[in-house]
Structure 1
């Protein structure tokens, strides 16, 4: 296997991971206005919710990765 092929696979894997992270935020943000109207919140609360989601994802992704490596992805 050449070095170019190995690097290409790693790059595709990294791009897939970034896509999944952005997809998670892309699924949460569109429903936030519905939460705001139902809960009687304001725009700054929405910003804090998006920031809390992103921070939680940042902090828990390495832990979830370790757990899925240890226990298996199907069990997770």
Structure 2
């Protein structure tokens, strides 16, 4: 019975703990490319580098400079 209570408690607390940790990371980057990489993304270029995008870990794709200007603190 004690094991069941511990497992139940951990399963309730873990999602909140994970989201807290994942959102608390601060980037020290001072340019869009480094910022994308700091948040776990991968920089992709289109048209000989004319347009750059950040492929984020969740699979979403955002325009690199716009993403940097919106989220850099």
TM score, norm. by length of structure 2: 0.33
TM score, norm. by length of structure 1: 0.32
Higher helix share: 1
Higher strand share: 2
